[in-house]
Structure 1
């Protein structure tokens, strides 16, 4: 049955590639490609993961979710073609213009980033020490914090302060915007040596990832980098098959870098040992979600009876209702761990697990289709603007959010991280930075007042 699943993915990939005009970077095509790659990983563990027992129901649900994503993407594709073939982006400025982050802008972002890193490190140390977890070395302390966080062991009195959370969200956005500016200026040949200082801002988020043991956050930056390279190369050379292959080759190299950093983080934090080798860690992260999904379908967990199903998909809304209105139960972010034949599969189940847990088969169809529509609509608008040589916010926003495409075979992050107050804050802050430094329609004068800039 599992081999039939892989064959089905190959067929779906071919159909989606043809339907979406042989565009490898179209979200539906890229999502199926990534899913196909991740689905091949468990084949290296065929015996000890018991793939021969993979259920037909799980295969059908996964294929249904993928087809639903493609259906939503197709609707966005049709709407975008109808709108943008007849409407010119006359108000947008030339995308080739150099983007300058002023000295005060750099100082503010980098300064806040340094403050946030020191505050976060101090919070982690205080939490681990107060809860009497091992902290003899930096690696053991970070690993202890991960254990505490993943297992939801942090009591309310040790919860991360709101101001620190806000700073963390801001640093993530600062790094994402700095990546956009650096790649834009470099690829479109309006680069100056001073732009290299932006690397300091970009590195703030990987350092955060190291502190909170969230290695997947590195994938966020790499996904953004790949799509920004694709868009800016498209502006410079035109969108064609040769450019797509060139960018994919760069993406493979970045993926190699990701796995190197992934393993370095794991070794530093003490995750790699005789019971969890590098090979096991890599296969669990890349393919464990697909195998664990089958285990969940066969043996689902007890219902949490939240306001929104199990509150797994819309965690942000469920958490807000519980914390501020006392409604329902507090959603548990990290899911339960699964084992098969004594081997740990981790606690990731593909994006479809949360949809299915909360709303059944309807949830898989509905949430997958909506996500497909949103991602492909933003992609089509971004690509259309690049073809016309115009700058639009969607190029930055989509590239930053493209990680949701790559995470589909691993975990659900779009609804849990975007449909939240923190998600809205990040998008608004990203838009403000874009308006100030990219479109230059807002500026801050010497008295610290925000003003409109008229052309």
Structure 2
């Protein structure tokens, strides 16, 4: 059945690319491609894992992807009805540089260093509480990871609220800065060379993510770069124009490089898996497919907490402050397949079916389709020309949720919590403050404006 599923997903992907006119990063194609990649990775381990994909699993995955695609097309048709804007008829438009003064860049870099330093200082305190100070980095991070997921030990690894929100502020700023860098890279003035300090901010942010024992932000940032570059490039050259083969090859090479980096970061975040690159990546991307099949064949009974897995971030936050009965571990059960530990990620579909059954599964598919279709349609037809594009940056921030659907739910299970909502607010607020706050009456027609109180020139 797994090879039939690969064929069906591949055929659906080709059809969707034809319908979307080659827009690879539209919601329907990217979700189909992500599931195709995960299922193909699982197929590479058929013998090793003893995969025997059930009919229910095959039907759930393919029908889920197909329904998502159909809902995306339906919502696009509904939302564009009555609109006079067609992305394939929108005229090409140049991109104007967003120039931040050296003083502003220095302040941003100083804040990023401060946020990373205080987080590291708190990490050292946690290491001392766990009794692992002085061990090698991998041992310390591995112990920290285990304690963080253990509800009885989580107090030893919890961070003060002000440290958490300082990090979340940096998280939001990191996406605003990334937008500035990519915008300037494609601008007529090519001012990105003046943004070295902003690039350092991004580097500091990525280093700080290692301290949080996670590599998902690395993928999050990589796909945000891809999406922003894809949208801005097409705004300049038009959506009718196809990308040169050389760029496609470069993207494939970059993707392989990102996967290699993702694998190499295992040691730094406390992972103990010593498998080779190919085995590790196929296990990470494809293990969820086999685990989802095992779950459907032997489901875990729900415990009655509404949205425990689907909305675990907001539910657990509510439990910490108002109802101790809603305090629970985020860790799902670990499972073996053919004697091999595959982990505890089961695709986003597992969360929705566990909490709400197949009716909830359909509702969540529709919700995902509506949110991402609305954002994608908007950024394809809207060009801010020199202003902060909050919709594009928010879209880039949550875009990883589409890519990760075959593995886990990121948008609602991980980002829908007080910290994630605060990060979104930071993106909108600081984008407006840093980029749009300068007075520019009549300046967009003349060129650059005079800098505002934060010395921003657009």
TM-score using structure 2 length: 0.87
User: What is the deviation of 1:22?
Assistant: 3.8
Mapped partners of 2:210, 2:226: distance in 1: 22
Kindly indicate whether residue 210 of structure 2 is the aligned counterpart of residue 213 of structure 1: no
**Is the CA contact 2:388–2:431 (under 8 Å) kept in the aligned structure 1?**
no
**Is the CA contact 1:229–1:247 (under 8 Å) kept in the aligned structure 2?**
no
State the partner residue of 1:263: 263
Q: Alignment partner of 1:339: what SS?
A: strand
Mapped partners of 1:417, 1:35: distance in 2: 20
**Is the CA contact 1:385–1:391 (under 8 Å) kept in the aligned structure 2?**
no
**Is the CA contact 1:435–1:442 (under 8 Å) kept in the aligned structure 2?**
no
Larger deviation, residues 389-398 vs 63-72: 389-398
Mapped partners of 2:39, 2:133: distance in 1: 37
Q: Which runs of structure 2 are paired with 1:35-434 in the superposition (5 Å)? A: 35-51=35-51, 53-85=52-84, 96-133=95-132, 135-152=134-151, 154-156=153-155, 158-192=157-191, 193-240=193-240, 242-243=242-243, 248-268=248-268, 271=271, 276-306=275-305, 308-309=306-307, 311-326=308-323, 328-386=325-383, 392-434=389-431
CA gap of 1:404–1:4, structure 2 versus 1, over 3 A, is same
What root-mean-square deviation, in Å, do the aligned CA atoms of Structure 1 and Structure 2 show? Answer: 2.9
Mapped partners of 1:87, 1:48: distance in 2: 49
**Is the CA contact 2:388–2:432 (under 8 Å) kept in the aligned structure 1?**
no
**Is the CA contact 2:53–2:293 (under 8 Å) kept in the aligned structure 1?**
yes
State the partner residue of 2:448: none
Mapped partners of 1:302, 1:101: distance in 2: 54
**Is the CA contact 2:75–2:373 (under 8 Å) kept in the aligned structure 1?**
yes
Aligned length: 439
User: What is the deviation of 1:36?
Assistant: 0.7
User: What is the deviation of 1:28?
Assistant: 0.7
**Is the CA contact 1:134–1:144 (under 8 Å) kept in the aligned structure 2?**
no
**Is the CA contact 1:77–1:376 (under 8 Å) kept in the aligned structure 2?**
yes
Mapped partners of 2:247, 2:70: distance in 1: 26
Mapped partners of 1:389, 1:15: distance in 2: 36
Mapped partners of 1:164, 1:74: distance in 2: 42
CA gap of 1:105–1:388, structure 2 versus 1, over 3 A, is closer
Q: Alignment partner of 2:341: what SS?
A: strand
**Is the CA contact 2:95–2:186 (under 8 Å) kept in the aligned structure 1?**
no
Mapped partners of 1:214, 1:422: distance in 2: 16
Q: Alignment partner of 2:33: what SS?
A: helix
Unaligned runs of 5+ in 1: 89-93, 444-448
Mapped partners of 1:440, 1:426: distance in 2: 20
**Is the CA contact 2:86–2:381 (under 8 Å) kept in the aligned structure 1?**
no
Mapped partners of 1:338, 1:244: distance in 2: 44
CA gap of 1:143–1:272, structure 2 versus 1, over 3 A, is closer
**Is the CA contact 2:178–2:202 (under 8 Å) kept in the aligned structure 1?**
yes
Q: Alignment partner of 1:48: what SS?
A: helix
CA gap of 1:425–1:389, structure 2 versus 1, over 3 A, is closer
User: What is the deviation of 1:223?
Assistant: 0.4
**Deviations, residues 363-389 of structure 1 (Å, cap 9, x unaligned):** 211111111111111011101114999
User: What is the deviation of 1:57?
Assistant: 0.9
CA gap of 1:134–1:5, structure 2 versus 1, over 3 A, is farther
User: What is the deviation of 1:414?
Assistant: 0.6
**Deviations, residues 251-285 of structure 1 (Å, cap 9, x unaligned):** 323212212221221144564565x4433321221
CA gap of 1:269–1:223, structure 2 versus 1, over 3 A, is closer
Unaligned runs of 5+ in 2: 88-92, 441-451
CA gap of 1:96–1:277, structure 2 versus 1, over 3 A, is closer
**Is the CA contact 2:401–2:411 (under 8 Å) kept in the aligned structure 1?**
yes
User: What is the deviation of 1:329?
Assistant: 2.0
CA gap of 1:396–1:272, structure 2 versus 1, over 3 A, is same
**Deviations, residues 336-382 of structure 1 (Å, cap 9, x unaligned):** 22211221112211111111111111121111111111111101110
Kindly indicate whether residue 438 of structure 2 is the aligned counterpart of residue 436 of structure 1: no
**Deviations, residues 386-410 of structure 1 (Å, cap 9, x unaligned):** 4999864212221222111111111
User: What is the deviation of 1:162?
Assistant: 0.9
Mapped partners of 1:157, 1:270: distance in 2: 17
Mapped partners of 1:179, 1:327: distance in 2: 39
State the partner residue of 1:446: none
User: What is the deviation of 1:133?
Assistant: 4.2
CA gap of 1:28–1:248, structure 2 versus 1, over 3 A, is farther
Q: Alignment partner of 1:266: what SS?
A: coil
